[in-house]
Amino acid sequence: MSKFEAGTLESYFSHLRDGMTDISMVFNKIEGRDISSSDIPDSIAKKFNAKDIFYKSYIIVLVQSCCNEQDSDLLLMMCGFLQGYEQLNITKRRQEYCDNIGIHDEKNGMDQTLAEHWHNKYVNIKSSMYSKENNAVSQLVKILKERGDNPDYISKAKESVNNPYPVPNYLRGDGHGYRKCEVEGKVFYVPLTEEERRTQANISDKSGKWVDTLLSLPIAVGIALTAIRESMKKSIEYLKMRCKIINIIVILLIAFIVVIVWKNLLYKKNKGDSQPYIETTTNTSITESRTPAIEYITIHNANITLTPDKPWEKLKVTIYPREANIEDVNYFSDNNKLVTINRMTEIIQLASEWHKETDRRTNVHVQCGEIDENVPVNVREHTVDDGINVPTNSNLDGNDSNNVENVSGF
């Protein structure tokens, strides 16, 4: 494997969500060279799009070799190299993915689709999936760097070049990283937790040892049930002989009351556990004035493009909930030599020496604690007719609603 810059490879790979433009650069950065005629199998060599076919096979092999089932589905969906997603644009691919993949809500103990989960929390699917995809790309690049010498991805790609796109792992049944759920007639798939994975692995490892036990289990259960039934019959006969009817009724009433009291205690305990925890300290999460912490951040700008004649753009940001403090939000650019972001004015603008940068794409982040939302910024050298001067004044002063929209609902 060639020595590559992780950030550069992440950038090229992330751009695959928008099309095939940078797919050759992913191959180049990993293999340290351009594609050659020897890389193309004879079975596709005469096709006009032979290189694209090989590149797709290479990406599929790369992802399946380095990622678990869940990240593999996510990244191949992002690229459109997964069955059921190949004819959809990125917006529809994300919606289809969120309708099929679920999450277990620890608060209410219920399973629900990602689409429903994020809708209930007023979270934007586009920005949430963008972050989720980028995290999977970062994990993939990390694994590639840790492996050092490159496994022979090229040979594997040549062998599978005529294969159809892979079937999503969540449709392949148990043992492929998911469990099937059905709620109100809708079927979806929840990724296994690490504990569920370990349990499944232990069962698989010990399957040979337990085959005989599992085969004899129905017999053992039948014997146990028969013994229980006989014991219950004897107990009832004993009660009939030794107790009057009134005593039996009293015993049943006492048992009923005990059950009701127990259920009420459990309900009160669960209700108390579900109450939100409020910290009355002076830290940035909850202040003494009980200002709530920022829970979600949404960037309303789409892909931002800057040119010499359009050297800046105002960033439009919404924080949730309404009472949160905008002063807790930080802004930064992944490449300050290309574009910069002014914290006070929320203006993204070209850096003074932007023209020296070879990679004209970067991301601008809006961050608060572990919350990190970002928007891609492209820089182009062509100009437009109208010139724009960068503003020097800001009307942002603390939590100014003219600059940041605080949406209630939490």
Instruction: Judge whether residue 296 has pLDDT over 90.
Output: no
Q: Which residues contact 407 (CB under 8 A, 6 or more apart)?
A: 122, 318, 320, 321, 322
Q: Please give the sequence-ordered ranges of beta strands (E in DSSP) within 107-217, or none if there are none.
A: 110-113, 178-183, 186-191
pLDDT, tens digit (0-9, with 9 covering 90-100), for 241-265:
665 677 778 888 898 899 898 888 8
| Mean pLDDT, range 296-320, rounded to an integer | 88
pTM to 2 decimal places:
0.51
Percentage of the residues of the chain whose pLDDT score is greater than 90: 34
Query: What is the tally of helices (H) and strands (E) in the chain?
Result: 11, 14
| Mean pLDDT, range 207-222, rounded to an integer | 52
Higher pLDDT, 401 or 219: 219
Q: What is the pLDDT of residue 51?
A: 92
Q: What is the pLDDT of residue 201?
A: 67
Q: What is the pLDDT of residue 293?
A: 87
Instruction: Judge whether residue 320 has pLDDT over 80.
Output: yes
Confidence bin at 117 (pLDDT 50/70/90): confident
String of b and e for 45-66 (b: at least 16 CB within 10 Å)?
A: eeeeebbebbbbbbbbbbbbeb
pLDDT, tens digit (0-9, with 9 covering 90-100), for 80-102:
999 999 999 999 999 999 999 99
Q: What is the pLDDT of residue 185?
A: 87
| Mean pLDDT, range 9-20, rounded to an integer | 89
Instruction: Judge whether residue 53 has pLDDT over 90.
Output: yes
The winner for highest mean pLDDT among 123-127, 212-216, 266-270 is: 123-127
CB atoms within 10 A of CB 125: 16
Rg (alpha carbons) of the chain, rounded to whole number: 29
Cα–Cα distance between 226 and 228 in angstroms, integer? 5
Characterize the bridge pairing of strands 317-320 and 404-406.
parallel
Lowest mean pLDDT among 179-193, 285-299, 314-328, 361-375: 285-299
3-state helix, strand, coil in the chain (%, to 5): 45, 15, 40
**What's CA 157's distance to the chain center, in Å?**
27
Contact by Cβ (8 Å): 120, 107: no
Identify residue 236 by its one-letter amino acid code.
I
| Mean pLDDT, range 23-39, rounded to an integer | 90
Confidence bin at 239 (pLDDT 50/70/90): low
| Mean pLDDT, range 134-161, rounded to an integer | 87
Cα–Cα distance between 81 and 87 in angstroms, integer? 10
User: Whole-number mean pLDDT of the chain?
Assistant: 80
Instruction: Judge whether residue 137 has pLDDT over 90.
Output: yes
Cα–Cα distance between 339 and 306 in angstroms, integer? 9
